[in-house]
Amino acid sequence: MLASIVVTTIIFGFQLKIFEGPLSEVTGEDYTSIVNCCWNVVITLTSVGYGDFSPKSFFGRIVGTLICFWGMIIISLIVVKVQE
């Protein structure tokens, strides 16, 4: 489970960097840093949602939505596994 969360964070982090990185100067949010992108992924996966970074482009928002749904799946699998 931990490996899937780490791989998910890296993959979605790179996707956010690709889609949102070029807009960083316009939006004022630093998506050029992979650390900030991975921070956004982790916060979205765990459904905390601080709101400090949010995608602005169309494809960035699609990735953000996918992160939300994938986070629900991962968290529910962890709960089921712990319950066994």
CATH code for position 39:
1.10.287.70
Identify the H or E element spanning 6.
helix 2-20
pLDDT-based confidence at 26, cuts 50/70/90?
A: confident
Average pLDDT, the chain: 89
Distances (CA, A) of 64 to 52, 74, 75: 14, 15, 16
| Domains of the chain: total | 1
In tens, the pLDDT along 35-74 reads: 999 999 999 988 887 777 788 899 999 999 999 999 999 8
Structural domain that includes position 22: 2-83
pTM given for the model: 0.84
Hey, CA dihedral for 73, 78, 81, 84, is it positive or negative? negative
